[in-house]
Amino acid sequence: MDGSSVLTGPVEIVGTGLIGTSIALACRRAGLEVLLTDTAPDHLRTATGLGAGRARTPDDVPQLVVVAVPPDALGPAIAAALDSAGPDTVVTDVGSVKAPPLDAVAAHPAVSRYVGSHPMAGTEYSGPLTASAALFDGRPWAVTPGPGASPRATRVVDALVRLCGAVPVQLNPVEHDRAVARTSHVPHLMASLVAGTLAAAPPEHLALSGTGVRDVTRVAGGDPRLYSQIIGGNAREVAALLTEVRARLDLVLEAVAAGDRVGLESLLGYGQAGTRAIPGKHGAAPEPMEAVRVSVPDHPGELARLFADAGASGVNIEDVRIDHDPGRPVGLVELDVVADHAEQLRAALESRGWETHR
């Protein structure tokens, strides 16, 4: 079921930042009428100008309200939506934690019309200008009905997820918050701690930066005010996992200080096992991957030529990373492929004149 017969609109978006405007654009892509509400007039004007919808009027009665406001404002905004919408209007939110918003409205007489949700998509950027209708395509999106949620409300929210191109994953709110602490909130904190060691580093140290440090620290570029709200709203689950991480960090310190190679290898192996546990493409079991590294001149059109030659090889590219040689006008492109196909791609590229590296 694609949800087109369940969700017919209008859909109101409360909060026209990156996520809210992206949902609005996805709904417009599907042909639904979209109503926009925001306390920031400039965001509302921008989202309207992007074609994400029109400003809501007092006479509008949405079928679904999507609350996309900062975490600290979720509870009051969800309650306001339940108060002001029609008697059959379903309300969802797209906040990063789910138990606290449900707790905030648990005593509301219309709580059966509220079903929380959380799209696992986004960037380190913010604001409506960074929005895209394709932001959620193929991404998991948690749907977290509380114990009193009506089946109809859950179906409407599920239909929104599918309409936006995402894959619904149903969890209860508490289990959701445990999951995102493990897969999002603690990793963000770890990235910020590592990135913090770079802030006052000597320039000659930073000159050695490569893809590894960029991969580890990328999400640390997110808005600190927003992420402090997200992590603070999930404090109990985050604190429990940080306690585990602290214990392992103590073991790492002991192993490094004592020169305990066996202990260090064991700890590194545990981390390697964690990377293998991450689901593969489309949620399938992960497959062994290998990076085919290719030197690419830093000239217009070279990447397009590389991708065309890689496509002609018949090997599917799973991921791409680019690192730049600080001393030469050359980039090193890493093409991630299923390990069994790496030699086929390497041979095909070399036959077309590309320099590859193992």
Do 11-171 and 178-277 share a fold?
Answer: no
243 pLDDT more than 80: yes
Are 253 and 261 within 8 A, CB to CB? no
Task: State the average pLDDT over residues 225-234.
Answer: 91
Mean pLDDT of the residues in the chain = 91
Please tell me the predicted confidence (pLDDT) of residue 37: 96
d(CA 141, CA 117): 7
180 pLDDT more than 80: yes
The pTM for the full model equals 0.77
Sign of CA dihedral 127, 133, 135, 136: positive
Domain ranges for the chain: 11-171, 178-277, 287-357
Lowest mean pLDDT among 224-228, 233-237, 298-302, 327-331: 327-331
- Mutual angle of helices 235-258 and 224-232, in 10-degree steps: 100
pLDDT tens digit string along 7-17? 999 999 999 99
Are 141 and 117 within 8 A, CB to CB? yes
d(CA 285, CA 278): 8
In CATH, what is the architecture of 287-357?
2-Layer Sandwich (3.30)
- Mutual angle of helices 186-196 and 235-258, in 10-degree steps: 50
245 pLDDT more than 80: yes
Class of domain 11-171: alpha beta
**Where residue 1 falls among pLDDT bands split at 50, 70, 90?**
very low
201 pLDDT more than 70: yes
d(CA 161, CA 183): 20
Give me the helices (H) in the chain, please: 18-29, 41-49, 74-84, 99-105, 151-163, 173-180, 186-196, 203-206, 211-217, 224-232, 235-258, 261-277, 302-312, 342-351
Of residues 121 and 48, more confidence is placed in: 48
Number of alpha carbons in the 13 Å side-chain half-sphere of residue 80: 11
- Cα 15-21-27 angle, rounded to 5 deg: 115
Task: State the average pLDDT over residues 31-37.
Answer: 97
Please tell me the predicted confidence (pLDDT) of residue 210: 79
Tell me the two tokens of residue 5.
């017969």
335 pLDDT more than 80: yes
Task: State the average pLDDT over residues 116-122.
Answer: 92
2 pLDDT more than 60: no
Please tell me the predicted confidence (pLDDT) of residue 38: 95
Of residues 225 and 154, more confidence is placed in: 154
Task: State the average pLDDT over residues 10-26.
Answer: 97
d(CA 342, CA 339): 5
d(CA 2, CA 27): 13
Look at strands 34-37 and 167-170 and give their pairing: unpaired
CATH topology of domain 178-277: 6-phosphogluconate dehydrogenase C-terminal fold (1.10.3660)
344 pLDDT more than 90: yes
Task: State the average pLDDT over residues 152-158.
Answer: 97
Task: State the average pLDDT over residues 68-94.
Answer: 94
Of residues 92 and 126, more confidence is placed in: 92
